[in-house]
Amino acid sequence: MSTIPFIETRTFSPNEGRFELEDRFKRHLRKLRCKRIPPERLAPPDDVDAPSESPGMDLMDIIGISADDAARIRRRVKRILELRKAATGLEHLKSDDRARLDTVKNGVRLISIPSEHRADELAAALHEDMPWMAPATEVVWHAARRSVREGWPGLRVPPLLLDGPPGIGKSHWARRFGELLSVPTAVIEATGENVSFGVVGSQRGWGGSCPGRLIETVLQSRVANPVMVVDEVEKAGTAVSMKGHAFGLAEALLPLLEPLTATRWSCPYYQVKFDMSWVMWVLTSNDHRRLPEPLLSRCPPIPLRPLTLAELQGFVRREGVKRTLSETAGDLRGPLPSLPSAASPQPAGRHAHAAARRRSGTAAGSALIRHVHPCSYRRSAMKLSPEDRAWIDQALQAIAAVEAGPSEADIAHAPVLSDWKPLISPLEHVMLWSEVIGHPILGNSSITTSQLIAINPGAGWARTVSRWYQLAQPVAVIDAVLAKNLGLKNPTAAAIKFAIPGFITLDEMATLDEILTENIARIRKIDAADRAASGRAAAAEVRIGPIPKPIRWRRRRGTPWRCWIIWGSRGPPSSARHAAGCWPWPWRRWCPSAWRAYASTMLARCFSARACFASAPT
C-alpha cells in the first residue's frame, strides 16, 4: 500500500525546537570565537611539564557566552520560528484545525489492486450481484486493469455518472463497489444537502461554516481514494448569498472532476490545497439533461436500463440469503407488504386517522389540526396563543380560497407536484409527499407539504395552508407502469412501498376526502371556541346572492373596528346576515366613488362561490 503527499504545506523537523536551535547557535558562536584565538595562546608554557588536569576537555566548552549574546540568540530563534510557522501555510487556522491536519502531513494511503486477476474477480463479483448495471461495471473493470498494467501507485477510476430510472439500485451498486474494494464510502443525498456546502464545505464567512463530507472522509480514514457517491445530483438546489453570488453543487464539483485542478484543490473551509485527484466519484441521476454541459463533459453519462422481473427476483433471493431470510420472504408473486413506519405496524385505509388519533391521547377535534404542541387544544373553550391564532387565520383564508375556487393565475403560478402521495404526519396533519418543481423557496426537490386543506386530482390542483399546487401524476401511476413492465396483472404487487418514521400512508381518495372535510369542520370549531374565550365576535357564515347594484357603504356603529356593512337595494341586512370585513385603508367617511367601484369589482370576484366568512379583525 503506497503513501502519497496529500496536503500542500511545508513541514520542518520536530527535533528543531526552540531549545535545540538556541543550543545550535551557541555552539556555532563558540566555534567562530575559537578560530579567532592565536595558536600561541593555546600552547602551554615551556616550564610547565605537568600533565593537564582535564585532558578530555573541549576547548569550545571553556569559551563563555555573555548575556548579550544569549539575548541575541533568543531573538534570532524566535524570529526563525515565526517565519517557519508562516511558511507552513497553516498559520491562519485555529489550533484544533491545525492538529486535525497534522494527522495527514506525512501523507495518506492509496488503496490499490495487486494484479489484473484481482481486478477480474472484483468485476465478476460486482456483476454477479447486479447484472443490469453491466455498463458501469465494465468501466470500473477496465479502469482497475489499467491501474495495474500502467503501474500506478493506487486504483484510479474516472468519474462516473449513472443515469437511469429510479429504483434500479444505482446507489446500492456504488456502495457495493466500495465494499468490494474495502475503501471508505460516503453517500451524499443531493436533495438533502445544503447545496455545495455539504460536499466541499463552506467558507468561514458563512454562518455555521464547517468542512465538507469529502475532506472529512479523507481525514478520518487517511485514504486518498475513497468512493464518494452523490445521489440524484440533478435535483440539488443552489444557495445565493446576500451579495447575489450563487453556490451550486454542480459548479462546486467541476474542479474536483478535472484531474489537473483536483491535484491542487483548495478547500473552502481550511483554505489549504489538497490532492483530490485520486477520489473515485460516482454520481447518480434520473435525467442527465437537467445537468450543465461542463459537468457532462467531465463526467459523460452512462445510460442504464430498468430491471426485468427475473433480475429483480434473483436480486431478492441473493439478498435474502445474505440476510438469512426465509424462502417465502422474497416471493414476488403476491403483493409486497408495506414497510412499518415505526416500531409497531400502522393501520392503513379508512381507519388510519382514527387509530392515529387514539394513539395520540388528545381530545377529539383537536389532534388533527394542531401544529405547535399537543396540549394547545385540550378544551373546547380555549384561548389560542398569538402563533396559533395566526395559523388558524391562515388556515381559514385557505378554506375560503378553496370554496371560491382557484383562478387561472393561481394555477399558472403554482408549483408542480409530481409522484405525489398523501400522508398523515406524527402530529396527524394530512400532507402530500412529492417531488416539487418550481417551488418559490425550495426550488426543485423532494418535499412534504404543509397541512392539506383540499385536493382535486381531476382538476389537477391541491390547496395547503401555505399555497396552491398543480398536481401531476401520483405514485399510483408509477405502480401501474411498474406492474406492466414486470408483467403483473395486479398493480399492488409492484406497488412502491415506502415509509417515513411516524407517518401513515393514505391510498383511498374517499378516505382522504372524509378526513379533509373533518379537518375543515374542526378548524372552524377551534376558531369559534377561541373567539368565545377571548371575547371577540364569532365568525359567521353568510350566503349571499349576486351583489345588488348599486352598492352603498356605511360604517358599522357601536364597534371599535373600522368595519363596513354591505347595503343592498333592499336596505341594510339583519345582523345575522351582514358581511363585515376589515379593509386595509382607513375609512372615516363615505367612500369615494373610485374606491366604491374597485371594491365592487373585488367583491364580485370573492363572492363568486356565493359564500364567504366574515369576521371582526383581531
d(C-alpha 444, C-alpha 239), whole Å: 13
pLDDT along the chain (618 residues), means of 10: 82 76 86 77 53 51 78 89 77 81 88 93 92 94 94 94 92 94 91 71 69 90 93 77 66 90 89 92 92 91 90 82 61 40 38 41 34 37 75 90 88 86 78 83 79 89 91 74 61 50 71 87 88 67 42 46 38 37 39 51 45 33
CA angle 405–407–409, rounded 5-degree value: 150
Cα-based distances in Å from 44 to 39, 85, 574? 10, 49, 133
Question: What is the separation of C-alpha 167 from the centre of its chain, rounded to a whole number of angstroms?
Answer: 20
Q: Nearest-CA neighbor of 170 among 222, 234, 106?
A: 234
449 backbone φψ class: left, alpha, beta (φ>0; ψ -120 to 50): beta
In a domain, 275, yes or no: yes
In a domain, 364, yes or no: yes
Q: What is the DSSP string of 118-135?
A: HHHHHHHHHHHH-GGGHH
pLDDT in tens, 50-96: 444 444 455 566 677 888 888 998 899 888 888 877 777 777 778 88
Q: Are residues 164 and 38 in the same domain?
A: no
Q: Are residues 547 and 530 in the same domain?
A: no
Owning domain of residue 206 = 108-303
Residue 44 per-residue DSSP state: P
In a domain, 220, yes or no: yes
Residue 364 per-residue DSSP state: T
In a domain, 308, yes or no: no
pLDDT at 186: 92
**Strand duo 563-567 + 552-555: pairing:** antiparallel
The type of residue at 492 is: T
Angle, nearest 10°, between helix axes 134-149 and 116-129?
Answer: 170
Q: How many residues belong to the chain? A: 618
d(C-alpha 489, C-alpha 310), whole Å: 16
Helices marked H in 130-222 — which ranges? 134-149, 170-181, 197-200, 213-221
In a domain, 526, yes or no: yes
pLDDT at 464: 93
d(C-alpha 7, C-alpha 222), whole Å: 12
CATH of the domain at 267: 3.40.50.300
Q: Are residues 367 and 444 in the same domain?
A: yes
**Domain end among 245, 279, 303:** 303
Q: Are residues 241 and 296 in the same domain?
A: yes
d(C-alpha 475, C-alpha 434), whole Å: 9
pLDDT at 463: 93
pLDDT at 436: 84
Q: Nearest-CA neighbor of 233 among 161, 165, 176, 178?
A: 161
Q: Are residues 506 and 428 in the same domain?
A: yes
Burial of 299 (0-12, 13-18, 19+ CB in 10 A): buried
550 upstream amide cis, omega within 30 of 0: yes
Cα-based distances in Å from 517 to 399, 430, 614? 11, 11, 20
The number of distinct structural domains making up the chain is 4
pLDDT in tens, 359-414: 333 333 333 333 333 333 433 445 788 878 888 889 999 999 999 889 888 888 89
pLDDT at 602: 52
Q: Are residues 234 and 377 in the same domain?
A: no
- Asked whether 173 and 126 are in contact (CB, 8 A), the reply is yes
Helices marked H in 194-301 — which ranges? 197-200, 213-221, 249-257, 259-262, 293-298
pTM recorded for the entire structure = 0.48
In a domain, 146, yes or no: yes
Q: Are residues 530 and 390 in the same domain?
A: yes
Q: Are residues 7 and 84 in the same domain?
A: yes
In a domain, 363, yes or no: yes
Q: Are residues 513 and 470 in the same domain?
A: yes
Decide: helix, strand or coil at residue 386.
helix
In a domain, 344, yes or no: no
pLDDT at 454: 92
Q: Are residues 251 and 358 in the same domain?
A: no
d(C-alpha 235, C-alpha 24), whole Å: 61
**Domain end among 276, 303, 330:** 303
Q: Are residues 136 and 171 in the same domain?
A: yes
> Up-side HSE of residue 493: CA atoms within 13 Å toward CB?
14
Q: Are residues 271 and 393 in the same domain?
A: no
